[in-house]
Amino acid sequence: MHFGQIANFKTNSNLPIEKFAIAINSKLKKSIVVKQAEEVDDRFHSRYNAKKKTYRYIINNSKQGTAIYRDLECYIPIELNVEEMKKAVKYFEGEHDFKAFKASGTSSKSSIRTIYKAEVLEKGDRIFIELTGNGFLYNMVRIISGTLVDVGLRKNKSRRNTRNYKIKR
């Protein structure tokens, strides 16, 4: 599910701007709805002028899953350790080189991105992974989400030594 998406296009249409949403909606699938249309400067680009973007991954962590939302969420019937996922997601906040979290074939020149907010939220049997940043690499959020699921499944448990170490920052 995508909410609050913005798109832009150029047109030579004489249709009044207040009629655009109705006209476009008459041609779209019922799962997509244009709520509003407005004229913008010719230099505006919905992708490149965005100040921030938010991605949300939904995990159905119930024992039985759902038929209605099966194409809109990830179904994992094994109980996830959400508290560990909440701790782990915070490591993604800030400016980092996300080279390890991009799909092969990514065309971006730089893999440095800033994540302003990273959260794992729980509501009933649903777990939400939300990342807000200045931009994302191809499949970056999907790979981060998979890593967090691994944490929740206890696959990435850190090896603990019997010795204590003090790390200076």
pTM of the shown model: 0.75
Give the residue-averaged pLDDT of 80-93: 97
- Each residue's pLDDT tens digit, 1-54: 456 788 888 989 999 999 999 999 999 998 889 999 999 998 988 888 888 999
Phi and psi based region of residue 101 (left: phi greater than 0; alpha: psi -120 to 50; beta: remaining) = alpha
Looking at domain 53-152, its CATH class is alpha beta
Question: Structural domain boundaries of the chain?
Answer: 7-49, 53-152
Q: Which residues make beta-bridge pairs with 95? A: 114
